[in-house]
Amino acid sequence: MNKILGAMRAQLNELALGLAGALNISDAMDALITAMFVNLVPPNWLKTCGQIGPTGSYNKKNLSSWYADLQLRWLQLEEWSSPATPIEDPPPSVWIAGCFNPMGFLTAMTQVTARAKGYSLDAMRVHTEVTDITLQMGVWQAGSGVESQPEDGTYIHGFFMEGARWSVELNAIADSYPKELYPWMPMMHFTGIRVEDVNPEGRYMCPMYTTTVRGPTHVLPGPLRTIEHPNKWILASVCLVMQPD
């Protein structure tokens, strides 16, 4: 995070010197001015965040929304690494989109379970259960009814569903409401289980992405409960995303 903010600060300070006449305006400065003028995230900033790759940008947010999201990430990391909080104690529920490497966090969760139970990490899979607790985007706040992480696995919030919605009443995926593009997902409980304990019956292996730019932003598939046949959600391209447009 410090690397990202440091790079942004350095480029903005350089641009300020260029506008003041102390430096010549370079092509990089000109590109930064153009991006900020039209409210787009400069490609150099996306590259520093790992949100741009060989296939192009993985971000569809404008600069204002992207920076507000970056501030929330910073806030979660600041509270997590606060001297008053042991670094090994995560928040009662982790805002998954605030992690710059969400796959790494979930892999670490699986590894902790594998070590505690003496399982092989290669023989582990991620299992998901959706709770009935609704948490909004950003840093966890007291009063949600969740006071600590579970003994097994981890609580995570911040997912949106695309192509369908989650029905708390049915405890399963359901058809989305009209004009509701990215409905909130309740807080989810992720655990690590052995391959032989995986039961695909009544489950849709829902792909999870960091943004709506699918493909290179894929994190992992998570089994979600469904009353309908999973093929229905496959044809509807239902997925979970951490950041809507």
Q: How confident is the model at residue 75 (pLDDT cuts 50, 70, 90)?
A: confident
**20-34, 40-54, 163-177, range with greatest mean pLDDT:** 163-177
Q: How many domains are contained in the chain?
A: 1
Block residue for tokens 């593009």: 181
Q: How confident is the model at residue 86 (pLDDT cuts 50, 70, 90)?
A: confident
Q: Is 130 inside any structural domain?
A: yes
Q: Is 210 inside any structural domain?
A: yes
For 115, the enclosing helix (H) or strand (E) is helix 102-117
Answer whether residue 3 shows pLDDT above 80.
no
Q: Report the alpha-carbon angle 211-215-217, nearest 5.
A: 40
What does the pLDDT look like over 6-26, one tens digit per residue? 888 998 999 999 999 888 998
Q: Is 105 inside any structural domain?
A: yes
Q: Is 63 inside any structural domain?
A: no
Q: Is 158 inside any structural domain?
A: yes
The CA distance from 83 to 54, in Å, is: 39
The CATH number of whichever domain residue 165 belongs to comes to 3.10.490.20
Answer whether residue 54 shows pLDDT above 80.
yes
The whole-number pLDDT of residue 140 equals: 65
What does the pLDDT look like over 119-158, one tens digit per residue? 988 889 999 999 988 876 666 665 567 888 898 999 999 8
Q: How confident is the model at residue 174 (pLDDT cuts 50, 70, 90)?
A: very high
Q: Is 23 inside any structural domain?
A: no
Domain range for 166 is 90-243
The CA distance from 21 to 146, in Å, is: 54
Q: Is 113 inside any structural domain?
A: yes
Q: Is 238 inside any structural domain?
A: yes
The whole-number pLDDT of residue 89 equals: 75
The whole-number pLDDT of residue 52 equals: 86
Q: What is the mean pLDDT of the chain?
A: 89
The whole-number pLDDT of residue 39 equals: 95
Q: Which residue has the higher pLDDT, 143 or 198?
A: 198
Per the structure block, which two tokens stand in for 211?
Answer: 């943004």
Nearest to 96 by CA among 72, 122, 79, 114: 72
21-30, 44-53, 110-119, 194-203: which range is least confident on average? 44-53
What is the Cβ-side half-sphere exposure of residue 153, based on CA atoms within 13 angstroms? 15
- Contact of 152 with 214, CB cutoff 8 Å: no
